[in-house]
Amino acid sequence: MEMTIRPRRLRSDPVLRKMVRETRMDPSSLIYPAFVAEGIRQAQEIPSMPGQMRHTIDSLLHLTEEYLKAGVSKMMLFGIPAEKDEVGSGAYAENGIVQQAMRALKERFPEMYLIGDVCMCEYTSHGHCGILCGHDVDNDKTLKYLADIALSQVQAGADMVAPSDMMDGRIAAIRRRLDENGYVDKPIMSYAVKYASSFYGPFRDAADSAPAFGDRKTYQMDYHNVREGLKEAELDIREGADIIMVKPAVAYGDVITKVRELVNVPVAAYSVSGEYAMVKAAAAAGWIDEDSIVSEMATSCFRAGADIYLSYYAKKIAGYMKEGRIG
């Protein structure tokens, strides 16, 4: 048979396959989400996220050394306070658990790039992401508190802040507060396109942040919608967001692609707790090859258009990249 064009020629050996890869990845694009808890004496495994821990500050320092050696130099911190209240005061307290952890990490490992998750759900007694008015979250009253959280994290050593609350106008409020206090160089990574997703279940277990009533569908997005996400991304960029995040990641590749086509800033994708837990459960049952699945999931997000990937598998993925399995 005469064929001039044979696509299989470029698949004939591993050296050639790697040379012609369309999707390139590097450990510098990875962010590891870590949990640090107040009032515990030793790290505690999260039951719904095998292998992931609620850390003490000491165990977080050991973890950071391990991740830096693996080539993962960026970490996002989520705090779990010992006490909660109606206004989530532990989130913006000078001596809050995240602020303590950031100071300790920056003193010991200044090369670790720290990102503060700016939200209130882990800190409020009701588990919602803002200030309540009756049973509703008051958008405009919440903005001041979010700006307070961002400022306190930056003052404690955060290199970047990442608001995940999904309040309207929060990027402008945070940008204004940071600029007024001399932090004009601190970037904002906005959870701009964050869906009300069932994939978050294990995180709520990890952070003890499930809402005491109702749900978050009045502020997080309906997963049926794409154009709404593009609107959110455009608004946040106008307000000063430097990076746009899509969350969840793996089930939202179409959204990542559309956001990437729209915006001229870096795009991040967060592979969330439910995605991690499903892989862990299937691997434990012997139904899948965990390493191969994790590699494929990460590659799919970069292929869709992500520049940055947040994953609980960050250390493993960095290893895969160094081995040449992906990237």
User: Residue 114 is which amino acid?
Assistant: L
Do the beta carbons of residue 41 and residue 67 sit within 8 Å?
A: no
Choosing from 74, 247, 315, 316, the catalytic residue is 247
Do the beta carbons of residue 150 and residue 115 sit within 8 Å?
A: no
Question: CA 18 → CA 22, 321, 327, distances in Å?
Answer: 9, 12, 8
Q: What is the number of residues in the chain?
A: 327
Cα–Cα dist 45/37, whole Å: 12
Cα–Cα dist 230/226, whole Å: 7
* Backbone dihedral angles phi then psi of residue 160, each to the nearest 5 degrees: -155, 150
Cβ count near 316 (within 10 Å): 18
Given phi > 0 = left and psi -120 to 50 = alpha, else beta, which region is 166? left
Residues 6 or more apart whose CB falls under 8 angstroms from that of 203 comprise: 209, 272, 273, 274
Residues 6 or more apart whose CB falls under 8 angstroms from that of 145 comprise: 87, 88, 91, 92, 120, 130, 131
Cα–Cα dist 142/212, whole Å: 18
Task: Determine whether 247 is an active site residue.
Answer: yes
Helix (H) or strand (E) holding 35: strand 30-37
Task: Determine whether 231 is an active site residue.
Answer: no
Cα–Cα dist 285/26, whole Å: 31
Choosing from 194, 280, 315, 316, the catalytic residue is 194
- Residues with catalytic roles: 194, 247
